[in-house]
Amino acid sequence: MIEVTFDRDARALYCYFAEIQEGEDATQIECDGSFLLDAAGQISGLRLATGGVLLPEALRYALSHPQAELDEQGDLTIRFAAEQASAEPLPYPAIFDLARNGAALGVEVIAEPEFAIGERLAHIEPLLVEVYGGDEEPPPAPEAQAHAPRPTPEAAAALPAQVQPVRVGFVALLGRPNVGKSTLLNAYLGRKVSIVSPKPQTTRLPVRGILNRDDAQVIFVDTPGLHEPKSGLGEFMVQAARRAIPDSDVLCFMVDASVPPGPLDERIAELVKRARKPTILVLNKIDRARRADVYLQQYRALGPWEWEVAVSALTGEGLGTLLEEIVKRLPLGPRLFPVDQVTDLSLREQVAELIREKVLLNTQEEVPHGVAIEIEEWEQRGARLYIRATVNVERESHKAIVIGEHGRMLKKIGAAARFEIERLLEQPVYLDLWVKVRKDWRRDPASLRWLGYDIRNLKS
């Protein structure tokens, strides 16, 4: 049976086709659809236009349930009841979570507040396994998380030295795009694990940066923007934040203190507050915040916050203080990652991200969102590591931009990327870059599997 959860705060229904194991959902893909309603306005089903987005094969878990059927146009219908009097288009694209094998594990649909999902659940009731948010207690942190059981201080003292507990835990960096989350992460880790660019939405993978000290292991989670601006960017940033919260021990609500709060800051602030976890207001970019004191009041008013600090992720100001405050709030426990590990991204993933960053920094607005890097070869040849990578773009015109006149742009991108890759890998590298047009790769599951979205399979 398809199981459903409902999140009141996010106004989101989630239909599970298969059990989702921790870390199993590798890719997300969007598609349009509608709610099917009975005469009383109760939700009697969902229709999702998967044609051109997902192959029937990818829907095998969904179609193993009697409630689901697929027609020739590729419309997937999930029925909670037989009646259907009308249909209401979804205000935001539905989001399918795909497993590494490309099969959809479940789908999330989000509605506007006026639609009031909570009052339309009569037919879904029997399938509802969980309701989050609203007046309910916040959901417990999922058991499957990497949190090891925390020993009591007395029990901990009895442990051998190498597993002596330290302050350890997950710290979510939450905030709208461009406030400086990735910059902060990189500043703490002293090397790039998360790419930075002046264009919003450059982080695609949920990067974890791991900071080790003698007395602490701080695991930063930089919330990714998995979705494109055209499809309700704000909404999805909020969703990304919502997902990171339950697994975190400390929340950093990060804002750009040089500008006043916007609606997105307010929405994220609401979510953060509702989690009732230790939260620090991080006012970033104070190096250029001339009227910071004024905006400070406005950001403060979005709270209450347990603590606040003004920092500059760029100059480093305030970062020491912030770290102390974070560490203080972490529980005691054994380290969750080896001390020499800085990130849970593989080296290949980091290299691909570095190349993508250089493309983003060097090209104009129309190119960036369609760029995906594919590492094709990775081979030690004598003293040098030979890396062949393909820069996939969506259009011929983008290819021309990335290559540039007489190949100048690609050379520039390659040189900048190679410099940082050599620093990362600490060895000479020969970087061989190719540019390929993969039309509409973002809509093609086969391409998605090939591209950055599945590079976890290539772990070195």
Site residues for Mg ion per CB under 5 A: 181-182, 203
76 vs 46: CA distance, rounded Å: 8
Interface region with ligand GDP, contact rule CB under 6 A, candidates 32-40, 129-137, 282-290, 427-435 = 282-290
The binder of ligand GDP chosen from 87, 122, 233, 314 (CB under 6 A): 314
Considering the complex, state which of residue 92 and residue 220 has its C-beta at the smaller distance from ligand GDP.
Answer: 220
- Out of Mg ion, ligand GDP, none, which partner does residue 312 contact, by CB within 5 to 8 A per kind? ligand GDP
Cα–Cα nearest to 287, from 324, 325, 319: 319
Considering the complex, state which of residue 89 and residue 263 has its C-beta at the smaller distance from ligand GDP.
Answer: 263
Contacts of 129 (CB under 8 A, 6+ apart): 3, 4, 5
Identify residues 201-240 at the interface with ligand GDP (CB under 6 A).
202-203
Q: Using CB atoms within 10 A of its CB, is residue 3 exposed (0-12), middle (13-18) or buried (19+)?
A: middle
Q: How would you label 159-168 residue by residue, b for 16+ Cβ within 10 Å and e otherwise?
A: eeeeeebbbb
Contact 47, 71 (CB under 8 A): no
The binder of ligand GDP chosen from 279, 284, 362, 390 (CB under 6 A): 284
181 makes contact with ligand GDP (CB under 6 A): yes
- Out of ligand GDP, Mg ion, none, which partner does residue 180 contact, by CB within 5 to 8 A per kind? ligand GDP
- The pair of structure tokens assigned to 176 is 């709208």
182 makes contact with ligand GDP (CB under 6 A): yes
The binder of ligand GDP chosen from 178, 217, 362, 390 (CB under 6 A): 178
**Considering Cα of 343, then 344, then 346, then 349, what sign does the dihedral take?**
negative
> CA angle 84-87-88, nearest 5°?
145
The CB-of-289 to Mg ion minimum distance in angstroms stands at 20
- The pair of structure tokens assigned to 65 is 């349930």
Total residues at interface with ligand GDP (CB under 6 A): 20
- Out of ligand GDP, Mg ion, none, which partner does residue 362 contact, by CB within 5 to 8 A per kind? none
The binder of ligand GDP chosen from 180, 333, 368, 452 (CB under 6 A): 180
The CB-of-420 to Mg ion minimum distance in angstroms stands at 17
278 vs 260: CA distance, rounded Å: 24
The DSSP-derived string for 367-405 is SGGG-EEEEEEEEEETTEEEEEEEEEESSHHHHHHHH-G
Q: What are phi and psi of 299, to 5 degrees?
A: -70, -35
The CB-of-51 to ligand GDP minimum distance in angstroms stands at 33
Considering the complex, state which of residue 67 and residue 197 has its C-beta at the smaller distance from Mg ion.
Answer: 197
Q: How would you label 177-212 residue by residue, b for 16+ Cβ within 10 Å and e otherwise?
A: bbbbbbbbbbbbbeebbbbbbeeebbbbbbbbbbbb
343 makes contact with ligand GDP (CB under 6 A): no
261 makes contact with ligand GDP (CB under 6 A): no
The CB-of-453 to ligand GDP minimum distance in angstroms stands at 19
- Out of ligand GDP, Mg ion, none, which partner does residue 183 contact, by CB within 5 to 8 A per kind? ligand GDP
356 vs 362: CA distance, rounded Å: 10
259 makes contact with ligand GDP (CB under 6 A): no
403 vs 408: CA distance, rounded Å: 7
The CB-of-283 to ligand GDP minimum distance in angstroms stands at 10
- Where would I find the beta strands (DSSP E) of 11-64? 12-16, 25-31, 33-37, 43-49
- Most distant CA pair in the chain: distance in Å? 72
- Out of Mg ion, ligand GDP, none, which partner does residue 212 contact, by CB within 5 to 8 A per kind? none
Identify residues 289-308 at the interface with ligand GDP (CB under 6 A).
none
362 makes contact with ligand GDP (CB under 6 A): no
The helix or strand, by DSSP H or E, that contains position 297, with its residue range, turns out to be: helix 292-301
198 makes contact with ligand GDP (CB under 6 A): yes
- Out of Mg ion, ligand GDP, none, which partner does residue 45 contact, by CB within 5 to 8 A per kind? none
Considering the complex, state which of residue 217 and residue 284 has its C-beta at the smaller distance from ligand GDP.
Answer: 284
The binder of ligand GDP chosen from 48, 107, 196, 375 (CB under 6 A): 196
Considering the complex, state which of residue 230 and residue 381 has its C-beta at the smaller distance from ligand GDP.
Answer: 230
Q: Which residues bind ligand GDP (CB under 6 A)?
A: 175, 177-183, 196-198, 202-203, 284-285, 287-288, 312-314
